[in-house]
Structure 1
Amino acid sequence: MMVRIVKLTFKSENITSFKSLFEKHRIAMQKVDGCTFLELLQDIEDPRVFFTHSHWKSKAHLEAYRKSEYFGQIWKKTKLLFEEKPEAWSLEKQ
């Protein structure tokens, strides 16, 4: 199993838009082949900062999702809302 953490920093005025976009797609994202867990976290100190925390059966499952048309559509909308470049980590449970 692979754990994926992505840090997303949004412009303050775009926080509500991002939350709406995420909620609109949350269930579909959780049903993507290979995704076994998905949650959204918001930083307590800086409300512009969010983290997605997801679990994947394999790196291949994550990559298939990242190359999908569905992800491309969501990411295109999300990118417009950023204040900073996103950061991502792929981790393995020990």
Structure 2
Amino acid sequence: MFVRIVKMSFEPSKIDAFLSFFETKKKLIRGFEGCEFLELYRDKTHPNIFFTYSYWNAEADLENYRNSDLFKNVWATTKKSFNDKPEAWSVDKLVSLI
């Protein structure tokens, strides 16, 4: 399992539209084969910056999602609201204390 972290910065006037759109797609993303976890975070200091954290069983699962019609629709809609280049990381979880 690995974690995908995506940082997105939005035009302030487009944040509500993004949040509404995410609400309609979050269960589809989380339900995609290989996705085990999905969360959306908002930066406390810069409220126009958001992060998604998703856990994937294998890199192939993430690639299948990234090549899917679902991702293409989500990304095409979401990126129209960006005010800065998004950043993404794929990381291995080494320790988790719950």
Shared fold, TM over 0.5: yes
The residue that corresponds to 1:10 in the other structure is: 10
The residue that corresponds to 2:83 in the other structure is: 83
The residue that corresponds to 2:22 in the other structure is: 22
SS in structure 1 of the partner of residue 33 of structure 2: coil
The residue that corresponds to 2:56 in the other structure is: 56
User: How far did 1:80 drift?
Assistant: 0.4
TM-score normalised according to structure 2 size:
0.94
Structure 1: gaps spanning 5 or more residues? none
Deviations 1:38-93 (A, max 9, x none): 00000000000000000000110001000111110111110100000100000001
CA distance in 2 between partners of 1:63 and 1:75 (Å): 14
User: How far did 1:2 drift?
Assistant: 0.8
CA distance in 2 between partners of 1:73 and 1:42 (Å): 22
Deviations 1:12-39 (A, max 9, x none): 0010011001001011111000000000
TM-score normalised according to structure 1 size:
0.98
The residue that corresponds to 2:73 in the other structure is: 73
Structure 2: gaps spanning 5 or more residues? none
Count residues in correspondence: 94
